[in-house]
Amino acid sequence: MFGIYLENLRLNSALVHSINNYVTANDCANVLLACGASPIMSDDLEDAIDIIKICDVLNINIGTLNTRITKSMIACGMKANELNKLIILDPVGLGASRMRNKIVSDLISKVKINIIKGNISEIKNLIGIACETRGVDANLSDKLEENNLEKIISITKKFCEAHEIIIVITGEIDLVCDKNKAYIIHNGNFMMSKITGAGCMLSVLISAFVAKSNNLCDATAAAVIAMGLCGEKAYARMSKLDGNASYKNYLLDEIYKLNARELDAGAKYKKINL
């Protein structure tokens, strides 16, 4: 069921424009090549609004911001909307600074975003920022666990409905949610938190999976499962000599090697209709 999205990507490729932070840019570009897509990274306003024209999708990552780049994000996002290109947002460190809150607030008010992926803290802040003038209860827990899943899904679903958006929450359990359904995903490995940029890599992977899909939510879930599954496979390859650097290499290698059949066979998820 999910493998088809990977197969489709490997057959049709996709050109992904990522306004990326510079810390993880290289890994993100290699993840895109690993899954069958191609990367272009441009963060200058003038350059980016031209680059988006030839790309299939726009990924925005706010990890290393500055005022020049935030302007590019808004302008390039508006251009992507005009050209009917999908936009994925990775609100890295949302809540940690006023500037990060400001750019995300600006983006969701001025640009139609299709998918936002963050950890529970970032998504909590996202919903808080989006709802702050409306007094909505966004009192999410700080951890995504079995015993608070129901509440988190309920709040997230409302946000998805109001904003016509897909939300991905990553953690020990991953959640992919739109207004109609939620995927609760149990793939993944603790080593993914021992390397920098696993989240950024997931964000570009989602961008590639959805680029030419006609089912955004399922393609997003496919990417989240693929990432988690590769995280498991990479861990299985580790020897006693290996640490987090080797693990990162193995993770990218697994994405490179993954095929549709393995993705379907390894998927650990539950679907809930909302």
Does 245 bind a second copy (CB under 8 A)? Our answer is yes
Reported as type and span, the H/E element at residue 79 is helix 67-82
Tokens of 149: 């899943």
Does 241 bind a second copy (CB under 8 A)? Our answer is yes
Does 265 bind a second copy (CB under 8 A)? Our answer is no
Number of CB atoms found within 10 A of residue 36's CB = 20
Does 197 bind a second copy (CB under 8 A)? Our answer is yes
Where does residue 67 rank: exposed (0-12), middle (13-18), buried (19+ CB within 10 A)? exposed
Q: For residue 197, what is the DSSP state?
A: T
Task: Considering the complex, state which of residue 143 and residue 181 has its C-beta at the smaller distance from a second copy.
Answer: 143
Count H helices and E strands in the chain, helices first.
11, 9
Q: For residue 69, what is the DSSP state?
A: H
Q: Are residues 232 and 188 in contact, defined by beta-carbon separation less than 8 angstroms?
A: yes
**Interface with a second copy (CB under 8 A), residue from 3, 63, 188, 228:** 63
Half-sphere exposure of 130 (CA within 13 A, CB side): 26
Does 75 bind a second copy (CB under 8 A)? Our answer is no
**Interface with a second copy (CB under 8 A), residue from 94, 165, 195, 206:** 195
State in angstroms the smallest separation of the CB of 32 from a second copy. Answer: 8
Does 231 bind a second copy (CB under 8 A)? Our answer is no
Task: Determine the interface stretch with a second copy among 132-140, 180-188, 192-200, 203-211 (rule: CB under 8 A).
Answer: 192-200
Task: Considering the complex, state which of residue 168 and residue 258 has its C-beta at the smaller distance from a second copy.
Answer: 258
For helices 3-12 and 198-210, give the axis angle rounded to 10 degrees: 80
Does 56 bind a second copy (CB under 8 A)? Our answer is no
For residue 196, give Cα distances in angstroms to 88, 135, 139, 202. Answer: 20, 35, 28, 12
Does 12 bind a second copy (CB under 8 A)? Our answer is no
Task: Considering the complex, state which of residue 176 and residue 211 has its C-beta at the smaller distance from a second copy.
Answer: 211
Interface positions, 138-167, toward a second copy (CB under 8 A): none
CB-based contacts of 169: which residues, under 8 Å, 6+ apart?
A: 117, 118, 119, 120, 123, 144, 152, 156, 175, 177
Does 11 bind a second copy (CB under 8 A)? Our answer is no
State in angstroms the smallest separation of the CB of 63 from a second copy. Answer: 8
Number of CB atoms found within 10 A of residue 232's CB = 17
Does 261 bind a second copy (CB under 8 A)? Our answer is no
**Interface with a second copy (CB under 8 A), residue from 9, 16, 37, 41:** 41
Does 13 bind a second copy (CB under 8 A)? Our answer is no
Q: Which residues in this chain contact a second copy in the complex, by CB under 8 A?
A: 20-27, 29-30, 33-34, 39-44, 46-47, 50-51, 54, 63-68, 93, 96-100, 194-197, 237, 241-246, 248-257
